[in-house]
Amino acid sequence: MDITKIELHNMTCLEFDCSCGRKHRSGIKHISVESGSTRNLPLFLEPFKNVFVVTDNHTHEVCGKKVIALLKRQGFVVSHHTFFSTGFLVPDEKALGELIIELPSDTDVIVGVGSGTINDLCRMISHKCHIPYVIVATAPSMDGYASTVSPLIIKRTKLTYEAVFPYAVIADTDILKDAPLDMLYAGFGDILGKVTSLTDWNLSHKISGEYYCDTIAALVNRAMQKCVDNLNGISKREPEAIKSLVEALIISGVAMGFIGNSRPASGAEHHLAHYWEIEALSKGEAHNFHGISVGVGSVVISKLYNLVNKAESLGIDIPDSSYVEDLLLKLGAPKSPLEIGITESVFYNSILNAMEIRPRFTILRHASQLGILEEAARSITSFYYK
């Protein structure tokens, strides 16, 4: 079976023997990406009766009210909880506790209506309470909808927890196309990050013999390419462009599920983004949308690839930083650390220390092992902070 030719809605409950020698599996029961797909929700929820809907004060207005009314009309017993926040809702101990307190004990299924934070909170509660959850996406802003991990802020630092697949993912392009522009930029940035995450995975395979799957890498690459081909339509909110963006984000999540961790979708560009985010959190400051930082991180890591490759040929295809930068420029999204408020010292230190965020082999670690990371950090920092 050629997984790269399978349509997204057929990637549900899929299990196949791959040429990499492993069996890949997706536990998602339903995926619906189309105009008006919210109407499929009652159908997907047929095996359940008591539904607990989770929204925040923004997503409640955008889609939550509609979802609750739709389910009540169809005879479901619906209870709900709405998080109230003036800025970003933080997926931390407080939010998790709030959700546990509000969760009715007879809940059959949780329906999250939102994007990254609501999805991460619902997934964690679903995992811990053994209750399936469905996500109704409200913004194409990150690739976590179909994955199995929950990045949470615990003790003011970002930690990623293994959790579960959603039971179903609903991505209604009529709703997604109206998401704030920054969230569209973030979604594209998270996809663009695959340019460097896939290269890191390949590099690690070549240098350290880490397991690698050509098929899954090709699957993610194909989804990214389709999204890049539709780049011009994203900021114009054209339905086809929004559809290819959200499909790429969901495929990236499915790919992580196939591998069993985030390797295909997260490399050094994510480590930089996490470093910047943790730095802001530790000072009690607001941070950028995850995908916006990842997009910038991807440009920076592409530059690093270039420098390392000049010092010692890596023998693999490496990303072209001007190509990556150009795509962000065409979209109108931030492309440099200055544009997203990263100070010179934080930026310099992030290149030196982001590899400590998790023990994953990336170009940052390789440059460090070659003894050229400091010089590269100085060079890239002086390029931006003249």
Smallest distance from Zn ion to CB 296, Å: 13
Up-side HSE of residue 204: CA atoms within 13 Å toward CB?
Answer: 22
Establish how many alpha carbons lie within 13 A of residue 254's alpha carbon, considering only the half-sphere containing its beta carbon: 33
Least distance (Å) from Zn ion to the CB of residue 202?
Answer: 14
Name which of 20 and 231 has its Cβ closer to Zn ion: 20
Residue in this structure with the two tokens 């930068």, named with its chain if needed: 325
**Cβ 222 to Zn ion, closest distance in Å?**
15
Beta carbon nearer to Zn ion, 18 or 129: 18
Rounded least distance, CB 18 to Zn ion, Å? 3
- β-partners of residue 78 are 51
**Residues forming the site for Zn ion (CB under 5 A):** 18, 20, 190, 213, 215
How far apart (Å, rounded) are the C-alpha atoms in residues 66 and 64?
5
CB of 17 or CB of 326, closer to Zn ion: 17
CB of 22 to Zn ion, least distance (A): 5
- Least CB distance from residue 80 to Zn ion, whole Å? 28
Nearest-angstrom CA–CA distance, 311 and 306: 9
Number of neighbours of residue 156 by Cβ within 10 angstroms: 11
Q: For Zn ion, give the closer residue by CB, 71 or 265.
A: 265
- Whose Cβ is closer to Zn ion: residue 38's or residue 362's? 362
C-beta neighbour count of 159 within 10 angstroms: 12
Which pairs with CB-CB distance under 8 Å and at least 24 residues apart come from 156-159?
Answer: 156/281, 156/282, 157/278, 157/281, 157/282, 158/274, 158/277, 158/278, 158/281
What one-character DSSP code corresponds to residue 39? G
Comparison of 24 and 30: residue with beta carbon closer to Zn ion: 24
Instruction: For Zn ion, give the closer residue by CB, 107 or 119.
Output: 119
289 vs 173: CA distance, rounded Å: 20
Shortest CB 355 distance to Zn ion, Å: 17
CB atoms within 10 A of CB 303: 21
